[in-house]
Amino acid sequence: MKAAFSSRTVLTGLLALALSGSVFAADPWKVATEGTFPPFEFYDSKTGEIQGFEVDLVREMAKIMGRDLQLSTMGFDAILPAVLAGTIDTGAAGFSITPERQKRVLFTDPFYTSGLTIVVKNGEKNIKGFADLKGKRISVQLGSTSMVAAKKIEGAKISTFNSAGDAILNMLAGNADAVINDKPVTDYILAQNASIASQTVHLPEMATADQFAMIAAKKDEKLIAEMNAALKTLKENGTYEKLHVKWFGKSAELVK
Protein backbone atom coordinates (compact mmCIF):
# COMPACT_ATOMS: atom_id res chain seq x y z
CA MET A 1 0.00 0.00 0.00
CA LYS A 2 2.83 2.37 0.80
CA ALA A 3 4.42 1.80 -2.60
CA ALA A 4 1.12 2.37 -4.40
CA PHE A 5 0.52 5.57 -2.49
CA SER A 6 4.02 6.79 -3.31
CA SER A 7 3.52 6.13 -7.03
CA ARG A 8 0.23 8.02 -7.07
CA THR A 9 1.88 10.91 -5.27
CA VAL A 10 4.72 11.07 -7.79
CA LEU A 11 2.33 10.88 -10.74
CA THR A 12 0.16 13.61 -9.28
CA GLY A 13 3.19 15.81 -8.76
CA LEU A 14 4.43 15.27 -12.31
CA LEU A 15 1.01 16.09 -13.72
CA ALA A 16 0.91 19.33 -11.75
CA LEU A 17 4.35 20.29 -13.00
CA ALA A 18 3.41 19.44 -16.57
CA LEU A 19 0.31 21.58 -16.38
CA SER A 20 2.36 24.45 -15.02
CA GLY A 21 4.83 24.13 -17.90
CA SER A 22 7.76 23.19 -15.67
CA VAL A 23 8.36 19.83 -17.39
CA PHE A 24 7.65 18.47 -20.84
CA ALA A 25 7.92 22.01 -22.25
CA ALA A 26 9.60 22.25 -25.64
CA ASP A 27 13.15 23.52 -25.61
CA PRO A 28 13.52 27.23 -26.42
CA TRP A 29 14.50 27.95 -30.00
CA LYS A 30 17.52 30.25 -30.12
CA VAL A 31 17.56 32.06 -33.45
CA ALA A 32 19.97 34.79 -34.57
CA THR A 33 19.35 37.27 -37.35
CA GLU A 34 20.79 40.65 -38.30
CA GLY A 35 19.29 44.03 -38.98
CA THR A 36 20.69 45.23 -42.31
CA PHE A 37 18.98 43.07 -44.93
CA PRO A 38 15.58 44.60 -45.74
CA PRO A 39 12.98 43.41 -46.40
CA PHE A 40 14.09 40.09 -44.93
CA GLU A 41 15.37 41.42 -41.59
CA PHE A 42 15.89 45.01 -40.48
CA TYR A 43 15.15 47.40 -37.63
CA ASP A 44 11.93 49.39 -37.40
CA SER A 45 13.06 53.03 -37.38
CA LYS A 46 10.28 53.97 -34.98
CA THR A 47 10.37 51.14 -32.43
CA GLY A 48 13.91 49.84 -32.89
CA GLU A 49 12.56 46.29 -33.05
CA ILE A 50 13.73 43.74 -35.59
CA GLN A 51 11.23 43.03 -38.36
CA GLY A 52 10.98 41.68 -41.89
CA PHE A 53 9.83 38.82 -44.08
CA GLU A 54 12.18 36.17 -42.65
CA VAL A 55 11.63 37.45 -39.11
CA ASP A 56 7.88 36.99 -39.56
CA LEU A 57 8.49 33.51 -40.98
CA VAL A 58 10.55 32.53 -37.94
CA ARG A 59 7.88 33.81 -35.56
CA GLU A 60 5.15 31.87 -37.35
CA MET A 61 7.34 28.76 -37.49
CA ALA A 62 7.92 28.96 -33.73
CA LYS A 63 4.16 28.90 -33.16
CA ILE A 64 3.76 25.76 -35.25
CA MET A 65 6.78 24.13 -33.62
CA GLY A 66 5.47 24.95 -30.16
CA ARG A 67 8.77 26.58 -29.26
CA ASP A 68 9.57 29.61 -27.14
CA LEU A 69 11.39 31.79 -29.65
CA GLN A 70 14.51 33.54 -28.37
CA LEU A 71 15.44 35.91 -31.19
CA SER A 72 18.73 37.78 -31.07
CA THR A 73 20.70 39.93 -33.51
CA MET A 74 24.38 39.99 -34.41
CA GLY A 75 26.60 40.79 -37.38
CA PHE A 76 25.94 38.63 -40.42
CA ASP A 77 29.45 37.20 -40.49
CA ALA A 78 29.16 36.18 -36.81
CA ILE A 79 26.00 34.07 -37.18
CA LEU A 80 27.40 30.95 -38.83
CA PRO A 81 30.29 30.72 -36.29
CA ALA A 82 27.72 31.08 -33.49
CA VAL A 83 25.75 28.14 -34.92
CA LEU A 84 28.93 26.08 -35.08
CA ALA A 85 29.80 27.02 -31.50
CA GLY A 86 26.34 26.03 -30.30
CA THR A 87 25.51 29.40 -28.76
CA ILE A 88 22.46 29.60 -31.05
CA ASP A 89 20.36 26.92 -32.72
CA THR A 90 19.51 28.60 -35.99
CA GLY A 91 20.73 31.34 -38.26
CA ALA A 92 17.98 33.21 -40.14
CA ALA A 93 19.54 36.07 -42.05
CA GLY A 94 19.08 35.58 -45.77
CA PHE A 95 21.63 32.79 -46.05
CA SER A 96 22.16 31.66 -49.63
CA ILE A 97 22.66 27.92 -50.07
CA THR A 98 26.24 27.49 -51.24
CA PRO A 99 28.51 24.42 -51.47
CA GLU A 100 30.99 26.06 -49.09
CA ARG A 101 28.36 26.61 -46.41
CA GLN A 102 26.87 23.15 -46.92
CA LYS A 103 30.18 21.68 -45.84
CA ARG A 104 29.79 23.36 -42.46
CA VAL A 105 26.06 23.55 -41.65
CA LEU A 106 22.68 22.08 -42.52
CA PHE A 107 20.13 24.08 -44.51
CA THR A 108 16.36 24.01 -44.33
CA ASP A 109 14.34 23.74 -47.49
CA PRO A 110 14.67 27.04 -49.38
CA PHE A 111 12.01 29.65 -48.66
CA TYR A 112 12.96 32.23 -51.30
CA THR A 113 14.79 32.37 -54.64
CA SER A 114 16.77 35.50 -55.36
CA GLY A 115 19.57 36.63 -57.65
CA LEU A 116 22.35 39.19 -57.85
CA THR A 117 21.82 42.42 -59.76
CA ILE A 118 23.76 45.64 -60.33
CA VAL A 119 23.01 49.22 -59.32
CA VAL A 120 24.79 52.13 -61.02
CA LYS A 121 24.48 55.89 -60.87
CA ASN A 122 22.32 57.78 -63.30
CA GLY A 123 24.30 58.63 -66.40
CA GLU A 124 26.59 55.59 -66.17
CA LYS A 125 26.92 54.41 -69.79
CA ASN A 126 29.79 51.95 -69.59
CA ILE A 127 28.18 49.38 -67.29
CA LYS A 128 25.20 47.53 -68.73
CA GLY A 129 25.74 44.13 -67.14
CA PHE A 130 28.15 41.87 -65.28
CA ALA A 131 30.45 41.57 -68.29
CA ASP A 132 31.22 45.28 -67.96
CA LEU A 133 32.45 45.13 -64.35
CA LYS A 134 36.00 44.03 -65.17
CA GLY A 135 38.45 46.39 -63.50
CA LYS A 136 35.68 48.48 -61.93
CA ARG A 137 35.24 49.68 -58.33
CA ILE A 138 32.47 47.64 -56.74
CA SER A 139 30.71 48.07 -53.38
CA VAL A 140 29.14 45.06 -51.64
CA GLN A 141 27.81 43.91 -48.26
CA LEU A 142 30.40 42.20 -46.07
CA GLY A 143 30.09 38.40 -45.90
CA SER A 144 27.44 38.19 -48.61
CA THR A 145 27.29 36.22 -51.86
CA SER A 146 27.62 39.60 -53.57
CA MET A 147 31.11 39.86 -52.08
CA VAL A 148 31.94 36.35 -53.31
CA ALA A 149 30.74 37.23 -56.81
CA ALA A 150 32.67 40.50 -56.86
CA LYS A 151 35.90 38.72 -55.93
CA LYS A 152 35.59 36.60 -59.08
CA ILE A 153 35.54 39.66 -61.35
CA GLU A 154 38.93 40.26 -62.91
CA GLY A 155 40.64 43.41 -61.70
CA ALA A 156 37.70 44.55 -59.57
CA LYS A 157 38.47 46.86 -56.67
CA ILE A 158 36.09 45.83 -53.89
CA SER A 159 34.89 47.83 -50.90
CA THR A 160 32.75 46.16 -48.23
CA PHE A 161 30.07 47.54 -45.91
CA ASN A 162 27.81 46.25 -43.14
CA SER A 163 24.68 46.87 -45.21
CA ALA A 164 23.65 47.05 -48.86
CA GLY A 165 22.31 50.55 -48.24
CA ASP A 166 25.74 51.75 -47.13
CA ALA A 167 27.27 50.15 -50.22
CA ILE A 168 24.91 52.15 -52.44
CA LEU A 169 25.61 55.39 -50.56
CA ASN A 170 29.33 54.77 -51.02
CA MET A 171 28.76 54.55 -54.77
CA LEU A 172 26.68 57.72 -54.81
CA ALA A 173 29.52 59.49 -52.97
CA GLY A 174 31.72 58.71 -55.96
CA ASN A 175 33.77 55.97 -54.32
CA ALA A 176 32.52 53.09 -56.49
CA ASP A 177 31.31 52.51 -60.02
CA ALA A 178 28.66 49.92 -59.18
CA VAL A 179 27.00 47.92 -56.43
CA ILE A 180 26.26 44.21 -56.60
CA ASN A 181 23.41 43.09 -54.34
CA ASP A 182 20.46 40.71 -54.03
CA LYS A 183 17.59 41.86 -56.26
CA PRO A 184 14.76 41.83 -53.67
CA VAL A 185 16.83 43.79 -51.19
CA THR A 186 17.76 46.39 -53.80
CA ASP A 187 14.14 46.62 -54.93
CA TYR A 188 13.05 47.28 -51.35
CA ILE A 189 15.74 49.91 -50.73
CA LEU A 190 14.82 51.82 -53.88
CA ALA A 191 11.09 51.53 -53.16
CA GLN A 192 11.57 52.95 -49.68
CA ASN A 193 13.98 55.78 -50.60
CA ALA A 194 12.90 58.01 -53.44
CA SER A 195 16.09 60.06 -53.24
CA ILE A 196 18.35 57.06 -53.79
CA ALA A 197 16.02 55.71 -56.49
CA SER A 198 16.16 59.00 -58.38
CA GLN A 199 19.97 58.89 -58.46
CA THR A 200 20.41 55.28 -59.52
CA VAL A 201 19.56 52.73 -62.19
CA HIS A 202 18.82 49.11 -61.24
CA LEU A 203 20.05 47.06 -64.17
CA PRO A 204 17.79 44.20 -65.33
CA GLU A 205 20.39 41.45 -65.72
CA MET A 206 20.25 38.92 -62.87
CA ALA A 207 23.18 36.62 -62.21
CA THR A 208 22.75 33.32 -60.39
CA ALA A 209 19.60 32.01 -58.77
CA ASP A 210 20.33 32.14 -55.06
CA GLN A 211 18.07 30.12 -52.82
CA PHE A 212 17.65 31.46 -49.29
CA ALA A 213 17.32 29.06 -46.37
CA MET A 214 17.91 28.95 -42.61
CA ILE A 215 20.89 27.15 -41.10
CA ALA A 216 21.58 24.84 -38.16
CA ALA A 217 24.49 22.74 -36.95
CA LYS A 218 25.27 19.43 -38.68
CA LYS A 219 24.17 17.54 -35.56
CA ASP A 220 20.72 19.15 -35.54
CA GLU A 221 19.01 17.05 -38.19
CA LYS A 222 15.91 16.71 -36.01
CA LEU A 223 15.63 20.50 -35.70
CA ILE A 224 15.98 20.96 -39.46
CA ALA A 225 13.20 18.42 -40.03
CA GLU A 226 11.01 20.27 -37.52
CA MET A 227 11.69 23.59 -39.25
CA ASN A 228 10.98 22.12 -42.70
CA ALA A 229 7.65 20.76 -41.47
CA ALA A 230 6.74 24.20 -40.12
CA LEU A 231 7.68 25.91 -43.40
CA LYS A 232 5.59 23.39 -45.32
CA THR A 233 2.60 24.10 -43.08
CA LEU A 234 2.97 27.86 -43.59
CA LYS A 235 2.97 27.40 -47.36
CA GLU A 236 -0.04 25.12 -47.26
CA ASN A 237 -2.18 27.21 -44.90
CA GLY A 238 -1.67 30.49 -46.78
CA THR A 239 0.46 32.24 -44.15
CA TYR A 240 3.54 32.28 -46.37
CA GLU A 241 1.55 33.89 -49.18
CA LYS A 242 0.19 36.59 -46.87
CA LEU A 243 3.67 37.43 -45.58
CA HIS A 244 5.08 37.54 -49.12
CA VAL A 245 2.41 40.02 -50.22
CA LYS A 246 3.01 42.06 -47.05
CA TRP A 247 6.74 42.49 -47.68
CA PHE A 248 7.09 42.28 -51.47
CA GLY A 249 3.73 43.64 -52.58
CA LYS A 250 2.99 40.70 -54.85
CA SER A 251 2.07 37.03 -54.79
CA ALA A 252 4.73 34.45 -54.07
CA GLU A 253 6.17 31.94 -56.48
CA LEU A 254 6.65 29.23 -53.92
CA VAL A 255 9.97 27.42 -53.88
CA LYS A 256 9.31 23.71 -54.11
Per-residue model confidence as pLDDT tens digits over 143-189: 888 999 999 999 999 999 999 999 999 999 999 999 999 888 888 88
Q: In the CATH scheme, what is the code of domain 114-209? A: 3.40.190.10
Tell me, what's the pLDDT at 34? 95
Model confidence at 6: pLDDT above 50: no
Distance CA 3, CA 145 (A): 64
Closest CA to 218 of 102, 65, 88, 95: 102
Task: In the chain, list all ranges with CATH 3.40.190.10.
Answer: 26-112+211-248, 114-209
According to DSSP, residue 178 is labeled E
pLDDT grade, residue 114 (50/70/90)?
Answer: confident
Q: Which amino acid is at 155?
A: G
CATH top-level class for 26-112+211-248?
A: alpha beta
Model confidence at 245: pLDDT above 90: no
pLDDT grade, residue 2 (50/70/90)?
Answer: very low
Model confidence at 27: pLDDT above 60: yes
Q: How does strand 207-217 pair with strand 105-107? A: antiparallel
Contact 212, 113 (CB under 8 A): yes
Instruction: List 181's β-bridge partners, or say none.
Output: 117
Q: What is the mean pLDDT of the chain?
A: 89
Sequence-distant (≥ 6) Cβ neighbours of residue 103 within 8 angstroms: none
pLDDT grade, residue 19 (50/70/90)?
Answer: very low
State pTM to two decimals: 0.67
